[in-house]
Amino acid sequence: MTKIINDKIKKLISSDGVVLFMKGDSDFPQCGFSANVVGILNYFGISFKSYNVLEDDTLRQGIKEFSSWPTIPQIYINGEFIGGSDILKELVESGEIVEILNEKKIEFTIPKK
């Protein structure tokens, strides 16, 4: 990976508390996994910034190398790689997502059942 794309990714993941690299955008996800992550973030009322990797192949390949994670979507919280769709789903099911969000001081709401 080039230093240019590496520096760009570092800048992007540090630009917001929650950053999502996805296929499509938050209004129109282009794959089911990206849609699942957007759905989870919206469910918890989490403000996030998303980047459409389908618009930039250099970013699409670069983010995979940067995180050593082969798939998209990828979510970062306060600059830390959390994982993809399956990991986020597991964190929600186990309740760990609430601990992570509290620890990282990310505002969210716990939906009423």
Picking from 28, 19, 30, the residue whose alpha carbon sits closest to that of residue 54 is 30
Tens digits of residue pLDDT in 28-85? 999 999 999 999 999 999 999 999 999 999 999 999 999 999 999 999 999 999 999 9
Three-state secondary structure along 33-47? HHHHHHHHHHHCCCC
pLDDT for 111 equals 76
pLDDT (mean) for 20-26: 97
pLDDT for 39 equals 96
Number of H helices, E strands in the chain: 5, 6
pLDDT for 89 equals 96
Question: Domains along the chain?
Answer: 3-103 (3.40.30.10)
Decide if pLDDT at 90 tops 80.
yes
Return the bridge partners of 21, or none.
Answer: 51, 74
Q: Where are the beta strands (DSSP E) in the chain?
A: 18-22, 24-25, 28-29, 49-52, 74-77, 80-83
pTM of the model: 0.94
Place of tokens 């970062």: 76
Q: Which residues contact 112 (CB under 8 A, 6 or more apart)?
A: none
